[in-house]
Chain A
Protein backbone atom coordinates (compact mmCIF):
# COMPACT_ATOMS: atom_id res chain seq x y z
CA UNK A 1 0.00 0.00 0.00
CA UNK A 2 3.02 2.29 0.30
CA UNK A 3 4.04 2.54 -3.34
CA UNK A 4 4.72 6.27 -3.20
CA UNK A 5 7.08 7.64 -5.81
CA UNK A 6 10.42 8.69 -4.42
CA UNK A 7 11.30 12.25 -5.36
CA UNK A 8 14.89 11.82 -6.46
CA UNK A 9 16.17 8.25 -6.53
CA UNK A 10 19.78 9.21 -5.93
CA UNK A 11 18.99 11.40 -2.94
CA UNK A 12 17.09 8.83 -0.92
CA UNK A 13 19.07 9.04 2.26
CA UNK A 14 17.10 7.79 5.22
CA UNK A 15 16.93 10.26 8.11
CA UNK A 16 14.58 8.46 10.48
CA UNK A 17 14.07 4.70 10.77
CA UNK A 18 11.48 3.33 13.16
CA UNK A 19 11.77 -0.40 13.72
CA UNK A 20 8.83 -2.17 15.39
CA UNK A 21 8.43 0.64 17.91
CA UNK A 22 6.35 0.14 21.05
CA UNK A 23 5.70 2.89 23.59
CA UNK A 24 4.07 2.19 26.93
CA UNK A 25 3.03 4.82 29.47
CA UNK A 26 2.84 3.81 33.11
CA UNK A 27 0.22 5.59 35.16
CA UNK A 28 0.47 5.38 38.93
CA UNK A 29 -2.63 4.85 41.01
CA UNK A 30 -5.08 4.52 38.16
CA UNK A 31 -5.71 0.80 38.29
CA UNK A 32 -9.19 1.03 39.74
CA UNK A 33 -11.50 3.97 39.47
CA UNK A 34 -11.45 4.40 43.25
CA UNK A 35 -8.83 6.78 44.54
CA UNK A 36 -9.43 6.16 48.22
CA UNK A 37 -6.61 5.41 50.61
CA UNK A 38 -7.93 1.96 51.44
CA UNK A 39 -8.02 0.89 47.82
CA UNK A 40 -4.51 2.23 47.36
CA UNK A 41 -3.39 0.25 50.40
CA UNK A 42 -5.03 -2.94 49.17
CA UNK A 43 -3.30 -2.45 45.85
CA UNK A 44 0.03 -2.28 47.60
CA UNK A 45 -0.72 -5.31 49.73
CA UNK A 46 -1.92 -7.34 46.80
CA UNK A 47 0.96 -9.30 45.37
CA UNK A 48 1.93 -8.53 41.86
CA UNK A 49 4.77 -7.39 39.72
CA UNK A 50 3.58 -3.81 39.30
CA UNK A 51 1.27 -2.72 42.04
CA UNK A 52 -1.16 0.06 41.34
CA UNK A 53 0.36 0.78 37.96
CA UNK A 54 -1.75 0.82 34.86
CA UNK A 55 -0.07 0.51 31.51
CA UNK A 56 -1.19 2.42 28.45
CA UNK A 57 0.14 0.93 25.25
CA UNK A 58 0.17 4.10 23.14
CA UNK A 59 2.22 2.98 20.12
CA UNK A 60 2.13 -0.64 18.97
CA UNK A 61 4.77 -1.87 16.58
CA UNK A 62 5.17 1.04 14.17
CA UNK A 63 7.83 0.70 11.46
CA UNK A 64 8.70 3.16 8.69
CA UNK A 65 11.64 4.82 6.99
CA UNK A 66 11.66 8.55 6.38
CA UNK A 67 13.96 10.11 3.80
CA UNK A 68 15.68 13.44 3.42
CA UNK A 69 13.47 16.06 1.83
CA UNK A 70 10.21 14.43 2.81
CA UNK A 71 7.44 16.24 4.63
CA UNK A 72 5.43 13.66 6.48
CA UNK A 73 1.98 14.27 7.91
CA UNK A 74 0.73 12.25 10.86
CA UNK A 75 -3.03 11.80 11.03
CA UNK A 76 -5.45 9.83 13.13
CA UNK A 77 -8.21 10.43 15.63
CA UNK A 78 -7.54 11.85 19.11
CA UNK A 79 -5.47 9.52 21.24
CA UNK A 80 -4.22 7.47 18.33
CA UNK A 81 -0.60 7.96 19.39
CA UNK A 82 0.55 10.69 16.99
CA UNK A 83 2.20 12.99 19.53
CA UNK A 84 3.65 10.03 21.40
CA UNK A 85 5.23 8.76 18.20
CA UNK A 86 6.79 12.18 17.57
CA UNK A 87 8.26 12.26 21.06
CA UNK A 88 9.68 8.79 20.65
CA UNK A 89 11.33 9.78 17.36
CA UNK A 90 12.83 12.77 19.14
CA UNK A 91 14.23 10.40 21.75
CA UNK A 92 12.23 12.09 24.51
CA UNK A 93 10.15 9.05 25.40
CA UNK A 94 12.00 5.81 25.99
CA UNK A 95 10.82 2.91 23.83
CA UNK A 96 9.42 -0.18 25.49
CA UNK A 97 10.45 -2.36 22.54
CA UNK A 98 11.93 -1.67 19.14
CA UNK A 99 14.21 1.18 18.15
CA UNK A 100 14.32 4.51 16.41
CA UNK A 101 17.41 5.44 14.43
CA UNK A 102 17.90 9.06 13.46
CA UNK A 103 20.32 11.22 11.55
CA UNK A 104 21.32 14.03 13.87
CA UNK A 105 19.06 15.22 16.65
CA UNK A 106 15.39 15.55 15.77
CA UNK A 107 13.69 18.33 17.64
CA UNK A 108 10.13 19.02 18.59
CA UNK A 109 8.88 22.50 17.77
CA UNK A 110 7.76 23.94 21.07
CA UNK A 111 9.23 25.37 24.26
CA UNK A 112 6.06 25.81 26.30
CA UNK A 113 7.33 23.62 29.10
CA UNK A 114 10.47 25.68 29.67
CA UNK A 115 8.74 29.03 29.97
CA UNK A 116 7.57 30.51 33.27
CA UNK A 117 4.46 32.61 33.55
CA UNK A 118 5.86 34.67 36.41
CA UNK A 119 8.76 35.96 34.34
CA UNK A 120 8.74 38.77 31.83
CA UNK A 121 8.49 38.03 28.12
CA UNK A 122 12.04 39.27 27.82
CA UNK A 123 13.47 36.73 30.24
CA UNK A 124 11.32 33.98 28.78
CA UNK A 125 12.83 34.56 25.35
CA UNK A 126 16.30 34.13 26.81
CA UNK A 127 15.30 31.12 28.91
CA UNK A 128 13.46 29.45 26.02
CA UNK A 129 16.32 30.02 23.61
CA UNK A 130 18.85 28.55 26.03
CA UNK A 131 16.52 25.63 26.76
CA UNK A 132 16.41 24.79 23.06
CA UNK A 133 20.17 24.59 23.08
CA UNK A 134 21.11 27.96 21.61
CA UNK A 135 24.24 29.65 22.87
CA UNK A 136 24.00 32.94 24.73
CA UNK A 137 25.30 34.84 21.69
CA UNK A 138 22.75 33.21 19.39
CA UNK A 139 19.94 34.21 21.74
CA UNK A 140 21.18 37.79 21.88
CA UNK A 141 21.46 37.88 18.11
CA UNK A 142 17.94 36.60 17.52
CA UNK A 143 16.26 38.39 20.41
CA UNK A 144 14.99 41.37 18.43
CA UNK A 145 13.84 39.11 15.60
CA UNK A 146 11.77 37.07 18.02
CA UNK A 147 10.15 40.13 19.57
CA UNK A 148 9.34 41.62 16.17
CA UNK A 149 7.99 38.34 14.83
CA UNK A 150 5.71 37.83 17.82
CA UNK A 151 4.30 41.32 17.42
CA UNK A 152 4.00 41.53 21.22
CA UNK A 153 5.27 45.07 21.29
CA UNK A 154 2.87 46.35 18.63
CA UNK A 155 0.44 47.52 21.33
CA UNK A 156 2.92 48.96 23.78
CA UNK A 157 5.84 47.70 25.81
CA UNK A 158 4.45 44.29 26.79
CA UNK A 159 7.69 42.36 26.56
CA UNK A 160 8.83 43.72 29.93
CA UNK A 161 5.64 42.50 31.66
CA UNK A 162 5.29 39.04 33.22
CA UNK A 163 3.83 36.47 30.84
CA UNK A 164 0.88 35.83 33.14
CA UNK A 165 -0.45 39.27 32.22
CA UNK A 166 -0.65 38.33 28.52
CA UNK A 167 -3.85 37.32 26.81
CA UNK A 168 -3.86 33.67 25.75
CA UNK A 169 -3.38 34.69 22.13
CA UNK A 170 -0.38 36.87 22.93
CA UNK A 171 1.24 34.14 25.01
CA UNK A 172 0.72 31.61 22.22
CA UNK A 173 2.31 34.00 19.75
CA UNK A 174 5.34 34.54 21.91
CA UNK A 175 5.73 30.79 22.46
CA UNK A 176 5.59 30.07 18.76
CA UNK A 177 8.04 32.87 17.97
CA UNK A 178 10.58 31.52 20.43
CA UNK A 179 10.18 27.95 19.22
CA UNK A 180 10.46 28.89 15.55
CA UNK A 181 13.64 30.90 16.05
CA UNK A 182 15.87 27.84 15.79
CA UNK A 183 16.85 25.82 12.72
CA UNK A 184 16.44 22.07 12.86
CA UNK A 185 17.75 18.95 11.11
CA UNK A 186 14.68 16.87 11.56
CA UNK A 187 11.79 19.09 12.54
CA UNK A 188 8.60 17.95 14.21
CA UNK A 189 5.58 20.18 14.49
CA UNK A 190 2.64 19.26 16.69
CA UNK A 191 -0.40 21.28 15.58
CA UNK A 192 1.50 24.49 16.13
CA UNK A 193 -0.16 26.20 13.20
CA UNK A 194 -3.40 27.14 14.88
CA UNK A 195 -2.24 29.93 17.17
CA UNK A 196 -2.97 33.62 17.30
CA UNK A 197 -5.13 35.77 15.07
CA UNK A 198 -5.47 35.49 11.29
CA UNK A 199 -2.55 37.82 10.58
CA UNK A 200 -0.23 35.91 12.88
CA UNK A 201 -1.36 32.55 11.48
CA UNK A 202 -0.32 33.63 8.00
CA UNK A 203 3.02 34.81 9.29
CA UNK A 204 3.65 31.56 11.15
CA UNK A 205 2.67 29.38 8.19
CA UNK A 206 5.23 31.24 6.16
CA UNK A 207 7.86 30.70 8.84
CA UNK A 208 7.09 26.97 8.93
CA UNK A 209 7.59 26.78 5.17
CA UNK A 210 10.98 28.45 5.66
CA UNK A 211 11.91 26.03 8.40
CA UNK A 212 10.86 23.15 6.17
CA UNK A 213 13.21 24.27 3.46
CA UNK A 214 16.12 24.40 5.91
CA UNK A 215 15.26 21.15 7.64
CA UNK A 216 16.09 17.75 6.19
CA UNK A 217 12.82 16.08 7.09
CA UNK A 218 9.63 17.48 8.54
CA UNK A 219 6.94 15.72 10.54
CA UNK A 220 3.62 17.49 11.01
CA UNK A 221 0.83 16.42 13.33
CA UNK A 222 -2.44 18.08 12.49
CA UNK A 223 -6.17 17.55 12.42
CA UNK A 224 -6.47 20.05 9.63
CA UNK A 225 -6.46 18.05 6.39
CA UNK A 226 -5.93 21.23 4.41
CA UNK A 227 -2.66 22.12 6.09
CA UNK A 228 -1.52 18.49 5.64
CA UNK A 229 -2.33 18.73 1.92
CA UNK A 230 -0.50 22.05 1.68
CA UNK A 231 2.69 20.94 3.34
CA UNK A 232 3.13 17.15 3.16
CA UNK A 233 3.98 14.74 0.39
CA UNK A 234 3.61 11.60 2.48
CA UNK A 235 1.17 10.70 5.23
CA UNK A 236 1.25 8.15 8.04
CA UNK A 237 -2.17 7.26 9.40
CA UNK A 238 -2.18 6.00 12.95
CA UNK A 239 -5.16 4.41 14.62
CA UNK A 240 -5.05 2.97 18.16
CA UNK A 241 -1.28 3.12 18.10
CA UNK A 242 -0.97 1.04 14.94
CA UNK A 243 0.17 2.23 11.55
CA UNK A 244 -2.96 1.83 9.45
CA UNK A 245 -1.68 3.31 6.22
CA UNK A 246 1.49 4.86 4.86
CA UNK A 247 1.61 6.47 1.45
CA UNK A 248 1.30 9.59 -0.71
CA UNK A 249 -0.82 12.34 0.80
CA UNK A 250 -3.82 12.15 -1.53
CA UNK A 251 -4.18 8.39 -1.35
CA UNK A 252 -4.09 8.22 2.43
CA UNK A 253 -6.24 11.28 3.00
CA UNK A 254 -8.92 9.87 0.71
CA UNK A 255 -9.11 6.70 2.76
CA UNK A 256 -8.95 8.69 5.99
CA UNK A 257 -11.79 10.96 4.95
CA UNK A 258 -13.84 7.92 4.01
CA UNK A 259 -13.08 6.46 7.46
CA UNK A 260 -14.02 9.58 9.37
CA UNK A 261 -17.13 10.00 7.21
CA UNK A 262 -16.36 13.41 5.81
Chain B
Protein backbone atom coordinates (compact mmCIF):
# COMPACT_ATOMS: atom_id res chain seq x y z
CA UNK B 1 0.00 0.00 0.00
CA UNK B 2 2.91 2.34 0.67
CA UNK B 3 4.34 2.11 -2.89
CA UNK B 4 7.69 3.33 -1.69
CA UNK B 5 10.49 3.77 -4.23
CA UNK B 6 13.27 1.21 -4.32
CA UNK B 7 15.72 2.51 -1.69
CA UNK B 8 12.98 2.66 0.95
CA UNK B 9 11.31 -0.58 -0.11
CA UNK B 10 10.62 -2.99 2.69
CA UNK B 11 11.55 -0.60 5.46
CA UNK B 12 9.29 -0.71 8.48
CA UNK B 13 7.49 2.52 9.31
CA UNK B 14 9.81 3.05 12.24
CA UNK B 15 12.96 2.62 10.12
CA UNK B 16 11.57 4.87 7.39
CA UNK B 17 10.75 7.55 9.94
CA UNK B 18 14.21 7.35 11.46
CA UNK B 19 15.83 7.54 8.01
CA UNK B 20 14.16 10.85 7.19
CA UNK B 21 14.25 12.28 10.69
CA UNK B 22 10.52 12.12 11.37
CA UNK B 23 9.37 12.31 15.00
CA UNK B 24 6.39 10.69 16.68
CA UNK B 25 3.46 13.09 16.49
CA UNK B 26 2.08 14.22 19.81
CA UNK B 27 4.93 12.78 21.87
CA UNK B 28 5.71 14.33 25.24
CA UNK B 29 8.69 16.71 25.14
CA UNK B 30 11.42 16.62 27.79
CA UNK B 31 10.80 18.69 30.89
CA UNK B 32 13.33 21.35 29.85
CA UNK B 33 11.86 21.53 26.35
CA UNK B 34 8.39 21.74 27.86
CA UNK B 35 9.35 24.71 30.01
CA UNK B 36 10.89 26.36 26.96
CA UNK B 37 7.70 25.83 24.91
CA UNK B 38 5.63 27.17 27.75
CA UNK B 39 7.78 30.28 27.98
CA UNK B 40 7.29 30.77 24.24
CA UNK B 41 3.55 30.79 24.87
CA UNK B 42 3.62 33.37 27.68
CA UNK B 43 1.81 36.00 25.60
CA UNK B 44 -0.95 33.54 24.80
CA UNK B 45 -1.27 32.55 28.46
CA UNK B 46 -1.62 36.18 29.52
CA UNK B 47 -3.97 37.13 26.66
CA UNK B 48 -6.16 34.10 27.33
CA UNK B 49 -6.49 34.93 31.04
CA UNK B 50 -7.35 38.56 30.31
CA UNK B 51 -9.85 37.53 27.66
CA UNK B 52 -11.58 35.18 30.09
CA UNK B 53 -11.71 37.91 32.71
CA UNK B 54 -13.23 40.45 30.34
CA UNK B 55 -15.67 37.98 28.81
CA UNK B 56 -17.01 37.18 32.28
CA UNK B 57 -18.97 40.41 32.71
CA UNK B 58 -19.26 41.58 29.11
CA UNK B 59 -23.04 41.01 28.97
CA UNK B 60 -23.79 42.90 32.20
CA UNK B 61 -24.94 46.51 32.03
CA UNK B 62 -22.48 47.63 34.68
CA UNK B 63 -19.75 45.75 32.80
CA UNK B 64 -16.33 45.62 34.41
CA UNK B 65 -17.66 47.38 37.53
CA UNK B 66 -18.69 43.89 38.67
CA UNK B 67 -15.03 43.00 39.06
CA UNK B 68 -15.10 45.14 42.19
CA UNK B 69 -18.78 44.86 43.10
CA UNK B 70 -18.81 41.04 43.30
CA UNK B 71 -16.11 40.74 45.98
CA UNK B 72 -17.64 43.67 47.87
CA UNK B 73 -21.05 41.98 47.99
CA UNK B 74 -19.39 38.73 49.02
CA UNK B 75 -17.66 40.40 51.92
CA UNK B 76 -20.96 42.05 52.91
CA UNK B 77 -22.78 38.72 53.06
CA UNK B 78 -20.07 37.08 55.16
CA UNK B 79 -20.01 40.06 57.53
CA UNK B 80 -23.76 39.88 57.98
CA UNK B 81 -23.74 36.16 58.78
CA UNK B 82 -20.56 35.75 60.78
CA UNK B 83 -20.08 39.22 62.22
CA UNK B 84 -23.64 40.25 63.01
CA UNK B 85 -25.56 37.00 63.49
CA UNK B 86 -22.97 34.49 64.72
CA UNK B 87 -20.52 36.85 66.49
CA UNK B 88 -17.55 34.90 65.24
CA UNK B 89 -15.24 37.78 66.07
CA UNK B 90 -14.58 36.30 69.58
CA UNK B 91 -13.27 39.34 71.27
CA UNK B 92 -11.64 40.95 68.24
CA UNK B 93 -12.61 44.59 67.94
CA UNK B 94 -14.74 45.61 64.96
CA UNK B 95 -11.80 47.60 63.61
CA UNK B 96 -9.79 44.42 63.34
CA UNK B 97 -12.50 41.88 62.67
CA UNK B 98 -14.02 43.43 59.55
CA UNK B 99 -10.73 43.81 57.63
CA UNK B 100 -9.76 40.39 59.04
CA UNK B 101 -12.87 38.81 57.55
CA UNK B 102 -12.68 40.64 54.22
CA UNK B 103 -9.02 39.73 53.74
CA UNK B 104 -9.70 36.11 54.65
CA UNK B 105 -12.61 35.83 52.23
CA UNK B 106 -10.69 37.33 49.32
CA UNK B 107 -7.47 35.43 49.88
CA UNK B 108 -9.28 32.12 50.28
CA UNK B 109 -11.45 32.82 47.25
CA UNK B 110 -8.24 33.23 45.23
CA UNK B 111 -7.18 29.67 46.06
CA UNK B 112 -10.71 28.30 45.84
CA UNK B 113 -11.48 29.64 42.38
CA UNK B 114 -8.04 28.69 41.07
CA UNK B 115 -8.74 25.11 42.07
CA UNK B 116 -12.30 25.19 40.71
CA UNK B 117 -11.22 26.50 37.33
CA UNK B 118 -8.21 24.18 37.38
CA UNK B 119 -10.45 21.11 37.60
CA UNK B 120 -12.20 22.14 34.41
CA UNK B 121 -9.12 23.57 32.70
CA UNK B 122 -8.67 20.55 30.44
CA UNK B 123 -12.05 18.81 30.60
CA UNK B 124 -13.93 22.06 29.94
CA UNK B 125 -11.72 23.09 27.03
CA UNK B 126 -11.49 19.85 25.08
CA UNK B 127 -12.38 21.71 21.90
CA UNK B 128 -9.32 23.89 22.27
CA UNK B 129 -7.10 20.97 23.25
CA UNK B 130 -8.23 18.95 20.23
CA UNK B 131 -7.84 21.80 17.76
CA UNK B 132 -4.58 23.56 18.54
CA UNK B 133 -1.05 22.83 19.63
CA UNK B 134 0.29 24.34 22.77
CA UNK B 135 1.74 23.02 26.00
CA UNK B 136 -1.40 22.00 27.88
CA UNK B 137 -0.11 23.50 31.12
CA UNK B 138 -0.91 26.87 29.51
CA UNK B 139 -4.57 26.32 30.41
CA UNK B 140 -4.39 25.78 34.20
CA UNK B 141 -1.68 28.45 34.49
CA UNK B 142 -3.81 30.85 32.50
CA UNK B 143 -6.83 30.21 34.74
CA UNK B 144 -4.77 30.83 37.90
CA UNK B 145 -3.51 34.03 36.33
CA UNK B 146 -7.10 35.06 35.67
CA UNK B 147 -7.88 34.55 39.36
CA UNK B 148 -4.81 36.56 40.33
CA UNK B 149 -6.07 39.47 38.25
CA UNK B 150 -9.48 39.06 39.83
CA UNK B 151 -7.83 39.24 43.25
CA UNK B 152 -6.02 42.44 42.27
CA UNK B 153 -9.43 43.99 41.66
CA UNK B 154 -10.61 42.71 45.03
CA UNK B 155 -7.53 44.26 46.62
CA UNK B 156 -8.97 47.67 45.85
CA UNK B 157 -11.93 46.80 48.09
CA UNK B 158 -9.54 45.32 50.65
CA UNK B 159 -7.49 48.51 50.82
CA UNK B 160 -10.58 50.67 51.18
CA UNK B 161 -11.92 48.50 54.00
CA UNK B 162 -8.55 48.44 55.78
CA UNK B 163 -8.18 52.20 55.62
CA UNK B 164 -11.83 52.67 56.57
CA UNK B 165 -11.19 50.74 59.80
CA UNK B 166 -8.04 52.56 60.74
CA UNK B 167 -5.23 50.50 59.22
CA UNK B 168 -3.26 53.00 57.17
CA UNK B 169 -0.72 52.17 54.46
CA UNK B 170 2.74 51.57 55.94
CA UNK B 171 5.93 49.71 55.15
CA UNK B 172 4.32 46.42 56.18
CA UNK B 173 1.99 46.72 53.18
CA UNK B 174 4.98 45.92 50.99
CA UNK B 175 4.82 42.36 52.33
CA UNK B 176 1.66 41.91 50.25
CA UNK B 177 3.79 41.40 47.14
CA UNK B 178 5.77 38.34 48.30
CA UNK B 179 2.63 36.87 49.84
CA UNK B 180 0.80 37.19 46.54
CA UNK B 181 3.69 35.68 44.58
CA UNK B 182 3.94 32.68 46.92
CA UNK B 183 0.21 32.12 46.99
CA UNK B 184 0.01 32.37 43.21
CA UNK B 185 2.70 29.69 42.87
CA UNK B 186 0.88 27.47 45.34
CA UNK B 187 -2.46 27.96 43.59
CA UNK B 188 -0.98 27.26 40.17
CA UNK B 189 0.61 24.04 41.40
CA UNK B 190 -2.68 22.97 42.89
CA UNK B 191 -4.55 23.89 39.70
CA UNK B 192 -2.10 21.80 37.65
CA UNK B 193 -2.65 18.80 39.92
CA UNK B 194 -6.44 18.95 39.83
CA UNK B 195 -6.37 19.71 36.09
CA UNK B 196 -4.73 16.35 35.41
CA UNK B 197 -7.09 14.59 37.78
CA UNK B 198 -10.11 16.39 36.31
CA UNK B 199 -9.04 15.50 32.77
CA UNK B 200 -9.18 11.80 33.68
CA UNK B 201 -12.20 12.03 36.00
CA UNK B 202 -14.49 14.97 35.18
CA UNK B 203 -16.70 14.00 38.15
CA UNK B 204 -14.17 15.73 40.35
CA UNK B 205 -15.73 19.04 39.35
CA UNK B 206 -18.91 17.96 41.16
CA UNK B 207 -17.03 16.84 44.26
CA UNK B 208 -14.66 19.76 44.51
CA UNK B 209 -17.03 22.37 45.99
CA UNK B 210 -17.56 20.17 49.07
CA UNK B 211 -13.86 19.58 49.59
CA UNK B 212 -13.16 23.29 49.20
CA UNK B 213 -15.93 24.30 51.61
CA UNK B 214 -14.57 21.92 54.24
CA UNK B 215 -11.13 23.37 53.70
CA UNK B 216 -12.51 26.90 54.05
CA UNK B 217 -14.15 26.23 57.43
CA UNK B 218 -10.97 24.53 58.69
CA UNK B 219 -8.73 27.40 57.63
CA UNK B 220 -10.07 30.17 59.81
CA UNK B 221 -11.54 32.43 57.16
CA UNK B 222 -14.22 33.86 59.49
CA UNK B 223 -12.53 33.27 62.83
CA UNK B 224 -9.06 33.32 64.31
CA UNK B 225 -7.73 29.78 64.69
CA UNK B 226 -5.78 30.54 67.87
CA UNK B 227 -8.82 32.13 69.56
CA UNK B 228 -11.28 29.47 68.42
CA UNK B 229 -8.98 26.64 69.53
CA UNK B 230 -8.19 28.13 72.93
CA UNK B 231 -7.68 25.39 75.51
CA UNK B 232 -7.03 22.73 72.89
CA UNK B 233 -3.65 21.08 72.53
CA UNK B 234 -0.79 23.07 71.06
CA UNK B 235 -0.33 20.45 68.34
CA UNK B 236 -3.89 20.76 67.04
CA UNK B 237 -3.57 24.54 66.79
CA UNK B 238 -0.24 24.28 64.99
CA UNK B 239 -1.59 21.69 62.56
CA UNK B 240 -4.43 24.02 61.58
CA UNK B 241 -2.07 26.95 61.32
CA UNK B 242 0.44 25.37 58.93
CA UNK B 243 -2.34 24.61 56.45
CA UNK B 244 -1.30 26.61 53.36
CA UNK B 245 -4.59 28.49 53.03
CA UNK B 246 -4.33 29.65 56.65
CA UNK B 247 -0.67 30.61 56.22
CA UNK B 248 -1.30 32.89 53.23
CA UNK B 249 -4.40 34.41 54.82
CA UNK B 250 -2.62 35.16 58.08
CA UNK B 251 0.40 36.65 56.31
CA UNK B 252 -1.86 38.90 54.27
CA UNK B 253 -3.73 40.03 57.39
CA UNK B 254 -0.48 40.60 59.21
CA UNK B 255 0.75 42.78 56.35
CA UNK B 256 -2.46 44.74 56.03
CA UNK B 257 -4.06 45.14 59.44
CA UNK B 258 -2.43 47.18 62.21
CA UNK B 259 -4.21 45.40 65.07
CA UNK B 260 -3.26 41.92 63.80
CA UNK B 261 0.23 41.39 65.16
CA UNK B 262 2.92 38.74 64.82
CA UNK B 263 1.52 36.90 67.86
CA UNK B 264 -1.19 35.50 65.59
CA UNK B 265 1.32 33.87 63.27
CA UNK B 266 2.80 30.40 63.81
CA UNK B 267 6.61 30.18 64.13
CA UNK B 268 8.65 30.04 60.90
CA UNK B 269 5.64 31.28 58.97
CA UNK B 270 7.62 32.60 55.98
CA UNK B 271 9.53 29.33 55.64
CA UNK B 272 6.25 27.43 55.68
CA UNK B 273 4.78 29.77 53.05
CA UNK B 274 7.83 29.29 50.83
CA UNK B 275 7.81 25.54 51.38
CA UNK B 276 4.19 25.14 50.27
CA UNK B 277 4.67 27.36 47.23
CA UNK B 278 7.81 25.63 45.94
CA UNK B 279 6.80 22.05 46.71
CA UNK B 280 3.26 22.27 45.37
CA UNK B 281 4.23 24.26 42.28
CA UNK B 282 7.18 22.05 41.29
CA UNK B 283 5.34 18.86 42.15
CA UNK B 284 2.18 19.94 40.35
CA UNK B 285 4.09 21.00 37.27
CA UNK B 286 5.92 17.69 36.93
CA UNK B 287 2.76 15.72 37.71
CA UNK B 288 0.86 17.59 34.99
CA UNK B 289 3.67 17.26 32.45
CA UNK B 290 3.84 13.48 32.96
CA UNK B 291 0.46 13.06 31.27
CA UNK B 292 0.96 15.74 28.60
CA UNK B 293 0.51 13.40 25.64
CA UNK B 294 -2.73 11.97 27.03
CA UNK B 295 -4.80 15.16 27.38
CA UNK B 296 -7.53 15.36 24.79
CA UNK B 297 -8.54 11.73 24.82
CA UNK B 298 -12.29 11.69 25.21
Contacts and interface: CB of A to CB of B under 8 A. Distances in A.
A202 interface: no
Given A17-B13, A26-B298, A91-B26, A111 B131 contact: yes
Nearest to B202: A28
A118 B59 contact: yes
Contacts of A16: 22
Interface of A: 1-4, 6, 9, 12-20, 25-28, 56, 63-65, 87-95, 99-103, 105-108, 110-114, 116, 118-119, 123, 126-127, 130-133, 135-136, 162, 243, 246
Contact of A87 (B27, B130, B293): B130
Contact of B25 (A64, A101, A130, A136): A101
16 contacts: A15-B22, A93-B26, A99-B13, A100-B26, A101-B14, A101-B16, A113-B127, A113-B130, A119-B55, A119-B58, A123-B54, A130-B43, A130-B44, A130-B47, A130-B48, A131-B44
Nearest to B126: A113
Contact of B51 (A91, A103, A127): A127
Nearest to A110: B131
Contacts of A2: 1-3
Contact of A107 (B20, B26, B43, B133): B133
Interface residues of B, number: 46
8 closest cross-chain pairs (CB), A and B: A91-B26, A19-B13, A101-B17, A91-B25, A113-B127, A118-B55, A101-B22, A130-B44
Contacts of B20: 13-14, 103
A52 to B, nearest CB: 10
A26 B134 CA distance: 23
B68 interface: no
B114 to A, nearest CB: 20
